[in-house]
Amino acid sequence: MDQPAFTLPPLPSAPSRILLFVAMHSEAEPIARALGLVGGRGTVAGAEIELLTPGTCAITRVDKLGPVHAASALTRAIAARRPDLVLNMGTAGGFESQGLGIADLVVARDAMFHDARVELPGFDALVRAHTRLSPNDAQLAAIAARVGGRIGLASSGSSLDATADELALFARARTLAKDMELASLAVVCSEERVPLAALKGVTDLVDHHEPTHEVFLRNLKKTSDRIAAAAGGFIELVAGS
């Protein structure tokens, strides 16, 4: 797989304002409880934390999932709050072929879109948006050791399931996590020059035969609780870099 075309700023040494993006309310609630956030705000490792979710659609009454809603929400939040650091925590699909199981954690090294295909020079790299996130190799290793997670690529798309071509791409790239927001957050952070780090928990195995939506719903609470338990340690390390 090609190396990342884009690189984010390094982690700040002592961030004072951190924006924590979580895609779904069901993922956000246990994280907020674990961090002691009140009204989505609190202090962790000496930094002010603000929890951000894209919200609920007024028409469908469900969480605003997907890259478009994630990018829109983060763009507005950065313009209003100018954080020193953006963090993303949430659930993702994992890969049995890479040795992952349900509720395992992945510390994202880089992110890309797996469903972006434009076979034109330059445009393909643009839409793929393969981006190295802010933690360096030593920081990634320390974070992974602290939370008990694996380090690797997280790939984003607009669908909960995956096509045969996407499964082949995941295998070639040795992808560890498949989600619906991180790559879009990386694009926004790249444009705004804001550091970004991410922690993902596995709800389903993308390369397993079970229907994704059934496994996702069955494991959502278990995995969200695992992420919440690791959230404080994750923030302490990225904020103390």
| pLDDT value of residue 1 | 58
What pLDDT is stored for residue 44 in this prediction?
A: 94
How many residues are given for the chain?
A: 241
| Closest residue by Cα to residue 189 from 132, 236, 142 | 132
Q: Which backbone phi and psi does 36 adopt, to 5 degrees?
A: 70, 30
With beta carbons less than 8 A apart as the criterion, state whether 74 and 211 touch: no
Q: Is 137 contained in some domain?
A: yes
Contacts of 211 (CB under 8 A, 6+ apart): none
Domain that holds residue 70: 6-239
Return the pLDDT at 241: 59
For 88-138, write each residue's pLDDT tens digit: 999 999 999 999 999 999 999 999 999 988 989 999 999 999 999 999 999
Whole-angstrom Cα distance, residue 16 to residue 13?
10
Total tally of structural domains belonging to the chain:
1
Closest CA to 86 of 142, 203, 8, 139: 8
Q: What is the model's pTM?
A: 0.95
We report the CATH number of the domain holding residue 156 as 3.40.50.1580
Task: Give the pLDDT score at 190.
Answer: 98
Inside any domain, residue 150 = yes
In this predicted structure, what is the pLDDT of residue 213? 79
**Low-confidence residues in the chain, pLDDT < 50:** none
Q: Residue 79 falls within a domain, yes or no?
A: yes
Q: Is residue 75 assigned to a domain?
A: yes
Tell me 185's DSSP state: H
> Within a domain: residue 1?
no
